[in-house]
Chains A and B, each alone.
Chain A
Amino acid sequence: MNEPPARVRVTGPPRRRTPLARTREVDAETPLGALYLGSLLREQLWLAARTLATLVLGLGVLPVLFVLAPGLTDVQVLGLPLAWLLLGVLAYPFLVLLGWRYLRRAERNEDAFVELMEAGRGPGPAPRRGGRR
């Protein structure tokens, strides 16, 4: 008689705990929650850095430029000295444009974060909608 093969216990990998709502991950300061928050922070900071870098490139280099090329002082555009046109008129639409682009992208980043948080809503305490837009 053949002995039946010894029983082998078959187990799966240890079962994960029930997934938390993503907002609870952030609340509980789990590594995953920290990752969510960190990615939002990095996105926003990187966006701000790019905006301000454009500001520096657009306006901040002007003094150096006028030192390197003193001839620019005498250039006239539309009857105005170049420096007056750049700093007296064009600087302002430039600033508003940068601000507008920043605002749109910053809100988009936040919308993505909201979506991320709400897409992963699992079991957990019923969310209370706090705050207003």
Chain B
Amino acid sequence: MRPDLDAAPGIIALVLVSVATLAIGTYGLRFSRTTSDFMVASRTVRPRMNASAISGEYLSAASFLGVAGLLLTFGADMLWYPVGWTAGYLVLLTLVAAPLRRSGAYTLPDFAEARLDSQTVRRACSLLVVGIGWLYLLPQFQGAGITLASAVGGPTWLGSLVVASVVLVNVISGGMRSITLVQAFQYWLKLTALLVPAAVLLVVWSGDGRPGAGPDAVHAGASRSLSWSSPLAESGSMGLYLTYSLIIATFLGTMGLPHVVVRFYTNPDGRAARRTTLVVLVLIGVFYMVPPVYGALGRVYAAELAASGRSDALVLELPRLMLPGLGGDLLTGLVVGGAFAAFLSTSSGLAIAVAGVLSQDVTGRAYAGRRLGGVAAFRVGAVLAVVVPAVVSLSESEVGVATTVGLAFAVSASTFCPLLLLGIWWRGLTAAGAVAGLAAGGLGSGLAAVLTLFPGWADGWVEILLRRPAAWSVPLSFLVMVAVSRATRRSAPLHVRRFMVRLHTPEVVDLDRG
């Protein structure tokens, strides 16, 4: 290894991406003046721009690095992750996008409060937004540390620190308006950084005479009983359960992720929200067709990565393995830049979402008669949103990146998905029902995941049920929400019919929307 020379393209790419991000953020700062600018970009973002931003924000390191690595190690059943992350947007489009925008709320807690007229539900939602947000930020910072350590060298904590600082500066200075530009830029950067090397490597592969996987490419996961081309996790009913539970978590979890939801308020109206979602579907669909190329090529050229358990580095190391010399260095610089952009954009979006909620419900409150202004409260919220998970990521690095991301999806699917779907489409939802359902789904999925983090005490079906809780925790949450709402029918909010008018009718019709 030549660590000093190897690091050069990575360091250059890293500096370029950081500078570009901060420069675009500063450019956006000139337009950010009011609280509304900071939080929802004053609702003037057009669908195509907004869709690029949503996609840029959504495609995290798990998509950029993780999927290819998982495919290399485990094979086709891991294709359900990108498919589920995309299909989640179809569910969002059909059931949530337009009504959510029309609700006119800033954040998920705002929506819950407006719909159910209850401070208790609002607090429960705020708690969940902050919880899911931190949970999702943690692996971003950790992953950044690991990636930079492998690409550039240096201690792991340095990468976490760099990403956390850039995110913090960006969010504090510009808020949502500048972030929208930055995120849109980062989608195209990520797509280029993944697509161009993939195309070049495919040409190299063709030039090599299209070799197939060598005999040493037999998957490293020794416990796997199925072949690399099967879309199932394991054989038999357990495999079926695991696969369907993953499908449920990803299909239904997307709509409740705080950084996804907050973007819908930046659309001018409900129709624009729908069109934005459709463009997102196209953009992330195009992106997700690329990681399988790395997975398949990795099987031919980098099988030892899977064997040594470093499959997450596949995207970063494959260019040099296949293409020695300057070409490999250039491509490496590109993928490192893309990976860094992935960490930055997802963390920024999450930080904005968490900061928005914190500034409304914590830092924007009056303490001892003093009260921070809107923008100041948002900035203090942003510091809290970033520093807490950053510190946790420095102190403890035992929790796997994929585990935490999966947990965030399962918790989101078991809490916000029932709340949104029932709140939007069912007049009978009551505040008591919502709180009970949020508690049942959140505790169920959260507890299951926490227990999974300490493996070894359960096996067989118990372990399987805890590893992927969504298949039972999502129906549980729905059931509890409906049952308790029925029992407390009398307490249904009075304005619910008016609220349904607001959620579902096009804005051009002149109606009283409450």
Contact = CB atoms under 8 A, between A and B. Distances in A.
B278 A128 contact: no
A62 to B, nearest CB: 6
A88 B501 contact: no
B56 to A, nearest CB: 18
Given A103-B93, A107-B271, A63 B288 contact: no
A17 B355 CA distance: 53
Interface of B: 76, 79-80, 83, 86-87, 89-91, 93-95, 98, 226-232, 239-240, 243-244, 247, 268-269, 271, 274-275, 277-278, 281-282, 285-286, 288-289, 292, 296, 425, 497-498, 500-501, 504-512
Contacts of A91: 79, 83, 86-87
A114 B501 contact: no
Interface size class of chain A, counting residues whose CB lies under 8 Å from the partner chain: 35 or more
Given A83-B79, A113-B506, A92 B90 contact: no
B468 to A, nearest CB: 13
Interface in A98-120: 98-100, 102-103, 106-107, 110, 113-114, 117-118
Interface string A34-75: 100100110011011001100100011011101100000110
Contacts, number: 156
A118 B510 CA distance: 9
A95 B500 contact: no
State the main secondary structure of chain A at its contact with B: helix
Given A41-B504, A81-B229, A130-B510, 19 more contacts: A26-B511, A29-B498, A40-B504, A41-B500, A45-B425, A47-B94, A59-B83, A63-B239, A66-B232, A81-B76, A83-B79, A83-B230, A87-B83, A87-B231, A88-B76, A88-B289, A92-B288, A106-B94, A106-B98
- Among B80, B227, B230, the one with the most A-chain Cβ atoms within 10 Å of its Cβ is B230
A36 B445 CA distance: 40
A62 B278 CA distance: 24
A21 B98 CA distance: 25
A78 interface: no
B40 to A, nearest CB: 16
Given A84-B79, A132-B268, A99 B93 contact: yes
A96 interface: yes
B87 A44 contact: no
Contact of B232 (A67, A84, A107, A128): A67
A113 B240 contact: no
A37 B500 contact: yes
A93 B83 CA distance: 11
B231 A83 contact: yes
Nearest to A50: B94
B91 A132 contact: no
